[in-house]
C-alpha cells in the first residue's frame, strides 16, 4: 500500500531551493535522503511531513491530497499517523521523561512499551526531569515518545547526531524493526551515508534535484 506520494515538488526562499521532486513511500519501506548542508533536505522533510507547504507540487498521504484535507482531518493525521523525530527534541522541559511519554500515550490511546525503554537504555533515567538528562538521553526519550503513539509514517531528521556509533546503530535497528512489524514507512534525512544505505532506497538532493542512487 502506498503511504505517501510526492509529485513535482518545488520550493524557494529568496532563491530556488529545489524543483520538480517526486517520490513514493510504500508500507514496510525506508527511504533516506542525503546531501550537503543547505541543499534543502530538512525543508523537503518538512514539506513531506505536512509542516510546510510547497510552492508547487503536491503531497498525498494514504491516497488523500494534503491540500484538499480539512484542518480537522489534517490535525487527526498528524496526531495519530505521523511520527516526527527531529534534531531538536521538543520535549516538555518541565516534565520528566516518563511524563512526556504518558502525554503521547494518552493522546494516542496507546500503552508505553517498557521493553522499548530498555532497548533505548533510558528505563533507569526515565523518571528524571528532562533538563537533568543528557542530550543523548533526551534524543532517546524523544524517539520513545514518537514510537509510543504507533505512527504509520516516520519522518526522521538526523536522529543519531547526539548518539555514539553503537547506540546509533541500535536506534536504527529499532526503527527498521518498527516499520516492518507495523506495516509503517520511514523517510530519513542524514549526513551519514553509511546509515543512509541501510534504507531500501537512497536519494541524494544535489543541484536542486533529487536523484536516486540506490
Please answer whether residues 211 and 201 qualify as being in contact, where contact means their C-beta atoms are separated by less than 8 angstroms: no
Angle at 48 between CA 46 and CA 51, to 5 degrees: 40
Please answer whether residues 84 and 159 qualify as being in contact, where contact means their C-beta atoms are separated by less than 8 angstroms: no
Q: Is residue 28 part of a domain?
A: no
Please answer whether residues 29 and 201 qualify as being in contact, where contact means their C-beta atoms are separated by less than 8 angstroms: yes
Range of the domain at 102: 91-150
Chain-centre distance for alpha carbon 28: 14
Which pLDDT value is given to residue 149?
92
Q: Is residue 103 part of a domain?
A: yes
Q: Is residue 211 part of a domain?
A: no
Which pLDDT value is given to residue 23?
96
Q: Is residue 139 part of a domain?
A: yes
Please answer whether residues 181 and 152 qualify as being in contact, where contact means their C-beta atoms are separated by less than 8 angstroms: no
Beta-bridge mates of residue 211: 204
Q: Is residue 189 part of a domain?
A: no
3-class SS of residue 65: strand
The whole-angstrom separation of Cα 17 and Cα 59 is 17
| Cell numbers for 110 | 496507546
Q: Is residue 144 part of a domain?
A: yes
| Cell numbers for 64 | 488523500
Q: Is residue 127 part of a domain?
A: yes
Around 101, how many Cα atoms within 13 Å sit in the side-chain half-sphere?
A: 28
Digit-by-digit pLDDT tens for the chain (214 residues) are 899 999 999 999 989 999 999 999 999 999 999 999 889 999 999 999 999 999 999 999 999 999 999 999 999 999 999 999 987 778 988 899 999 999 999 988 999 999 999 999 999 999 999 999 998 899 899 999 999 999 999 999 988 777 788 888 889 999 999 999 999 999 999 988 888 999 999 999 999 999 999 9
Q: Is residue 18 part of a domain?
A: no
What is the tally of structural domains in the chain?
A: 1
Strands 153-157 and 185-189: parallel
Amino acid at each position: 500500500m502506498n503511504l505517501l506520494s510526492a509529485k513535482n515538488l518545488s520550493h524557494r526562499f529568496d532563491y530556488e531551493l529545489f524543483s520538480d521532486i517526486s517520490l513514493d513511500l510504500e508500507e514496510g519501506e525506508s527511504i533516506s535522503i542525503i546531501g550537503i548542508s543547505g541543499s534543502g533536505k530538512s525543508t523537503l522533510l518538512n514539506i513531506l511531513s505536512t509542516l510546510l507547504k510547497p510552492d508547487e507540487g503536491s503531497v498525498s498521504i494514504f491516497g488523500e491530497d494534503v491540500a484538499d484535507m480539512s484542518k480537522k482531518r489534517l490535525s487527526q493525521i498528524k496526531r495519530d499517523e505521523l511520527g516526527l523525530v527531529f534534531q531538536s527534541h521538543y520535549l516538555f522541559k518541565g516534565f520528566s521523561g516518563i511524563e512526556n511519554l504518558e502525554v503521547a500515550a494518552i493522546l494516542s490511546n496507546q500503552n508505553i512499551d517498557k521493553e522499548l525503554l530498555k532497548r533505548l537504555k533510558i528505563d533507569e533515567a526515565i523518571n528524571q526531569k528532562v533538563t537533568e538528562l543528557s542530550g543523548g538521553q533526551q534524543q532517546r526519550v524523544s524517539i520513545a515518545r514518537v514510537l509510543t503513539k504507533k505512527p504509520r509514517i516516520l519522518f526522521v531528521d538526523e536522529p543519531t547526531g547526539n548518539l555514539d556509533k553503537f547506540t546509533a546503530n541500535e536506534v536504527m535497528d529499532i526503527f527498521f524493526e518498527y516499520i516492518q512489524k507495523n506495516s509503517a514507512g520511514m523517510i530519513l534525512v542524514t549526513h551519514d551515508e553509511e546509515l543512509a544505505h541501510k534504507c531500501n532506497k537512497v536519494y541524494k538532493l544535489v543541484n536542486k534535484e533529487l536523484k536516486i542512487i540506490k
